[in-house]
Chains A and B, each alone.
Chain A
Amino acid sequence: EDQVTQSPEALRLQEGESSSLNCSYTVSGLRGLFWYRQDPGKGPEFLFTLYSAGEEKEKERLKATLTKKESFLHITAPKPEDSATYLCAVRNTGTASKLTFGTGTRLQVTL
């Protein structure tokens, strides 16, 4: 069974204080690791897809990296508007569709 574990559960940063979120996964055959951002009461917003170890993707202050066992979401010089829950999900080669999500990291960025 696919498993996704995210750490930390919650993270409080000051504006400009860079940090990283971790996503460890166990999957029979990785067919994509996905990062989403979710604001309270709203649908997850797609950020990145990573397919193979060594792959990196960037978007504004966010950078996602992937190894064979984990992924990191690096946040550089965060702003208060980056406050949200960041969800990691995997899809395996044996399953046509479904994503298995981690429980997320709640990020709060303060002034």
Chain B
Amino acid sequence: AAGVIQSPRHLIKEKRETATLKCYPIPRHDTVYWYQQGPGQDPQFLISFYEKMQSDKGSIPDRFSAQQFSDYHSELNMSSLELGDSALYFCASSPTGTEQFFGPGTRLTVL
């Protein structure tokens, strides 16, 4: 069965640089979510999109932005990176707000 695809899987950046994370949801899933998971912590909700419109917003820094495109893939843009942004970033997708299926994650390391 098709799963959520995330790229890149690993990313190393310097402080104050910019990063773009990509997410390709499971086909026919219309909702995409982004979560951040720090070491030893639970996933924290950042933002979600339904049918290409932002549907919910969590504790996402103003330095971060995201969007969902016409093909339903989503991108999380992170600017002015800080050391504390180092984490696993997960994308999840669901068909019309039911169970969320998570991707393998992008491990971001900020040096």
Contacts and interface: CB of A to CB of B under 8 A. Distances in A.
Contact of A49 (B41, B44, B48, B98): B98
Interface string B31-46: 1010000000111110
Contacts, number: 59
Contact of A44 (B55, B58, B90, B97): B90
A10 to B, nearest CB: 12
Interface string A53-81: 00000000000000000000000000000
A103 B43 CA distance: 8
B104 interface: yes
Contacts of B56: 95-98
Contacts of B76: none
Nearest to B102: A43
A80 B80 CA distance: 43
B90 A102 contact: no
Contacts of A45: 102
Nearest to A34: B99
Contact of B42 (A32, A34, A46, A104): A104
- Specify the main secondary structure of chain A where it touches its partner: loop
B42 A41 contact: no
A96 B103 contact: no
Contacts of A42: 104-105
Contact of A101 (B42, B50, B103): B42
A42 to B, nearest CB: 6
19 contacts: A42-B105, A43-B90, A43-B92, A43-B103, A43-B104, A44-B102, A45-B102, A49-B98, A49-B99, A95-B56, A96-B55, A97-B55, A97-B56, A99-B43, A99-B45, A101-B43, A102-B42, A103-B41, A104-B42
Given A43-B102, A96-B48, A100-B45, 19 more contacts: A41-B105, A41-B107, A42-B105, A43-B90, A43-B105, A46-B99, A46-B100, A87-B42, A96-B56, A97-B31, A97-B33, A97-B45, A97-B48, A98-B56, A99-B33, A99-B45, A103-B41, A103-B42, A104-B42
Interface of A: 32, 34, 36, 41-46, 49, 87, 95-104
